[in-house]
Structure 1
Amino acid sequence: MARKWKAVVVGAGGAQAQAMLRALARGKATEGVLALDRAWRSETLDATRQMGFETLQLDALENAAEFDSLLQDTAVVANMAGPYYRTGTAILDRAIAAKTNYIDIADDADVTLPMLERTKAAEAAGITALIGMGSSPGTTNILIRAAVDRLGAVDDVDIFWAVDVQDITAAALRHFWHCFNLVDPDGTTHDVPGWDSLEFRDVEFPQPVGRQKLVRLAHPEPITLPRFLPVKRASNFGGVAPEEALVTAWALAHIADEQRSDGSLTDPAAKLFKSYMDRRANAPRIGSGLLIDVHTNGNGLRFSSGSEGRMDDSTGIPAAVGLILMCEGRVTVKGVISAEMVEPKDFFQVLRTVSEGGGGLTLWRLEDGQAVERLRIRDLLP
């Protein structure tokens, strides 16, 4: 029996969810999509309605009975409400119980394993739960899938990213702090390390981003890539630019570490970081960079990009692609899966209909760890 709503977007008033909705509107995919938020801001509510979405104010966690009833009448629920170490399994479990397909942009490593452990329950319910369908994870996984489809099995995938500190919202800040709590393959989570215990990389991104200092961070890709693809190891290094912002963010994360406290320092630390951001109000924008090496002993493929684009769009647009593919029945694997299970050709086909263009992504052949020949991304796709 057909359900009333093609999709319900939870947390639709957030910045990345708004970017997702704008992408859906560009792709003329607003019909049958309900935008839900627990506390709409008037300007965001107006903008959402002007894009053509129906809206509802509801707290999905507090109003359990009403939300569960809504899920019963929904084909796909898009969970855009982080932090995912608090909301990921909570909303996924409700979707499984309602036999409703699920998608999110979960980027917290410590919740990735518990969500993947729900795969048998999702299979039994006959649903697909696509987790981590944002930028990183999300676009990163699909690019790596395309590379592995061409190269075959590889030993290593190294992911490097940098975001402009101007893009760090209050929610993004808390996620970034959480990434300092490294996660072992078995799910063990560690305290935020001291500065001397951090593992650093200096990485050269295409302009306008340039050379940035990065640190090893907890992220889902090192957990999911070896699970779903013929990849032995994966690493993730990220940071905020400029370097002083990275140092400031780490220092506050180290002080307010929820692993070592009851969380009472988190809000005061966030206020201090906002004060730091206010002092940088007129600083020039640096942009965001991405570099992915897919290789064995330094031989393979490299994706790289540098862009002035905002993190909201780089995350929300691929989420819109994933939602469209799920609504169209083009992601058919049952259970809990991550973005590398999406067909790259399908992803890029829909991306063209919802993207604003730009991004500057390039593909190179790697030889002994060096980019030696530029290739065409389209040649990776069937």
Structure 2
Amino acid sequence: MRILVLGGAGYMGRVAAYLLAKHGKAEVRVTSRSQDKAKKAADEVNKRIGSALVKPEAVDVESKDDLKRSMRNADVVVNCVGPYYKYGLNTIKAAIELGVRYTDICDELVAAKEIVKLDGDAKKAKTTILTSLGSSPGLSNIQVQYSAKRMDSVSDVHIAWTSSQTDPFGPSVMKHCLHCYSSPHQFIDGQLVQVAPFSGRQLVEFPPPVGKVDVVYFDHPEVLTIPMYVKGVKNVTVRGGIFPGDIHDLIESWVKAGASLMDDYDVDGTNVAAVDFLTSVAMKIMQGKKDLPAVAAQRIEIVGKVGGESVTHVHASVGTMASGTILPLFVATMMLGEGKIKDYGVLPPDAIDPDLFFEEFKKRRGAQYTQVGAMFDFRKTN
């Protein structure tokens, strides 16, 4: 199988390339605008797996011609280039025009709204676009489908995620978090609505070693796609938070002061974007917390009825941001490349058969998922 990993020189992209080459035995090309950066990433992954399956390639994702040139020789395109509101649509359109199968880890509601509109184009091209295949969204949606299949009806879905300040992620992920904190949307009483920043606060018990963390409403695609596939659901909420709390408190204090996370401010005659300033401060905070364990976790609660009786299913996972995000992407990409996902169109993770997905996950990663309440441990990607 020939797989093109766009953004393969980045942190998430390197993990994807490693899993696809080592466990998927795929021929992988990793890309960056810089050939040197792509080569450095390819060399690093090849050294880890002890082979030369990974090749570097310079690709400008802002050029559709360059994208299409690179995509033509791929069986599946894996897009790890964010933000997706900026780079996702053109990349997907290029894949559709070529009829190339595609996966990504889009976790931006604003982008997901536009991506699902390309469903008709993908069907006409007889190709498959799998979007939002990370942890949340991604695994979270599939776990919801797993439970929904075992209930007569579902009324409520509540998703919560958290990450330690030392779980390595760069400025682009921090800026994404700021955007999602600033204008969260939730599915409440059967309607997709915008809610106030830092509202919906809850103290959620995550799997060990994380424990209890304060989380607030967060802007994620689950609130859009879960109601499309779980008919009759009344409420779908997504909450998130960074612990132990320094960065979370920094952002919340900015909002409580009446300042916007997305505006620019004049500082002694210099125009400074709030998102850039806060990201810079957040990066400094992270550097001072390197003694803390790098860990991320999520908890999903599905409320419904079976035989007229109320039931609640809970799913949980723990790991790192990279492993939790890329392992579901890896499994879904291999399923797509091997023809185990056959439907055409733009497919969110909700469209994947959950039982088949967990069978494949068990086969490829040795993880058991045979009962509600089973916990995924994503702390290893080897």
Shorter-chain TM-score bucket reads: 0.7 to 0.9
Q: Could you tell me which residue of structure 1 aligns to residue 12 of structure 2? A: 16
Residue in structure 1 matching 2:42, options 40, 45, 63: 45
Q: State the one-letter code of the partner of 2:315.
A: F
Report the more deviating stretch, 22-31 or 330-339. Answer: 22-31
Alignment partners' CA distance in 1, 2:144 and 2:344: 21
Alignment partners' CA distance in 2, 1:207 and 1:123: 43
How far 1:281 sits from its partner (Å)?
2.6
Report the more deviating stretch, 244-253 or 136-145. Answer: 244-253
Residues 242 and 286 in structure 1, CA contact (< 8 A), matched pair in contact too: no
Alignment partners' CA distance in 1, 2:375 and 2:106: 30
How far 1:21 sits from its partner (Å)?
2.0
Residues 5 and 77 in structure 2, CA contact (< 8 A), matched pair in contact too: yes
Q: Deviations over 1:243-296 (max 9, x none)?
A: 2231124456885623677983433332221111122233x2273222111113
How far 1:177 sits from its partner (Å)?
1.1
Q: Deviations over 1:36-93 (max 9, x none)?
A: 2223166423113334433233233244323212223323211111111211112111
Q: Could you tell me which residue of structure 2 aligns to residue 370 of structure 1? A: none
Alignment partners' CA distance in 2, 1:10 and 1:274: 25
Q: State the one-letter code of the partner of 1:149.
A: K
Q: Could you tell me which residue of structure 2 aligns to residue 183 of structure 1? A: 185
TM-score by length of 2: 0.83
Matches of residues 112-151 of structure 1 in structure 2 within 5 Å?
112-151=112-151
Residues 137 and 222 in structure 2, CA contact (< 8 A), matched pair in contact too: yes
Q: Percent identity?
A: 23
Q: 1:313 to 1:376 in 2, by over 3 A?
A: closer
Q: Which consecutive residues of structure 1, in runs of 5 or more, have no partner in the other structure?
A: 365-374, 378-382
Residues 30 and 42 in structure 2, CA contact (< 8 A), matched pair in contact too: no
Q: 1:53 to 1:248 in 2, by over 3 A?
A: farther
Q: Deviations over 1:179-230 (max 9, x none)?
A: 112237798878x73x5xx220111122211111000011000110011223
Alignment partners' CA distance in 2, 1:214 and 1:176: 13
Q: Could you tell me which residue of structure 2 aligns to residue 229 of structure 1? A: 230
Q: 1:42 to 1:249 in 2, by over 3 A?
A: farther
How far 1:174 sits from its partner (Å)?
1.4
Q: 1:164 to 1:376 in 2, by over 3 A?
A: closer
Residues 215 and 241 in structure 2, CA contact (< 8 A), matched pair in contact too: yes
Q: 1:77 to 1:209 in 2, by over 3 A?
A: same
Q: Deviations over 1:327-354 (max 9, x none)?
A: 0111112111101111223322332354
Q: Could you tell me which residue of structure 2 aligns to residue 371 of structure 1? A: none
Alignment partners' CA distance in 2, 1:281 and 1:93: 41
Paired residue secondary structure (2:5): strand
Q: State the one-letter code of the partner of 1:13.
A: A
TM-score by length of 1: 0.83
1:214 paired with 2:215, answer yes
Q: Could you tell me which residue of structure 2 aligns to residue 268 of structure 1? A: 277
Q: RMSD of the alignment, in Å?
A: 2.9
Q: 1:166 to 1:348 in 2, by over 3 A?
A: same
Q: 1:206 to 1:221 in 2, by over 3 A?
A: same
Q: State the one-letter code of the partner of 1:93.
A: K
Residue in structure 1 matching 2:312, options 300, 303, 311: 300
Alignment partners' CA distance in 2, 1:242 and 1:361: 33
Residues 31 and 38 in structure 2, CA contact (< 8 A), matched pair in contact too: no
Q: Could you tell me which residue of structure 1 aligns to residue 297 of structure 2? A: 289
Matches of residues 1-382 of structure 1 in structure 2 within 5 Å?
6-31=2-27, 33-39=28-34, 40=37, 43-50=40-47, 51=49, 52-167=52-167, 168-180=169-181, 181-183=183-185, 193=197, 198-230=199-231, 231-251=233-253, 257-258=261-262, 264-282=273-291, 284-285=292-293, 287-296=295-304, 299-305=311-317, 307=318, 309-355=319-365, 363-364=372-373
Q: 1:14 to 1:152 in 2, by over 3 A?
A: farther
Residues 256 and 263 in structure 1, CA contact (< 8 A), matched pair in contact too: no
Q: 1:189 to 1:257 in 2, by over 3 A?
A: farther
Q: 1:56 to 1:41 in 2, by over 3 A?
A: closer
Report the more deviating stretch, 272-281 or 233-242. Answer: 272-281
Q: Which consecutive residues of structure 2, in runs of 5 or more, have no partner in the other structure?
A: 266-270, 377-382
Residues 204 and 214 in structure 2, CA contact (< 8 A), matched pair in contact too: yes
Q: 1:286 to 1:60 in 2, by over 3 A?
A: closer
Paired residue secondary structure (1:74): coil
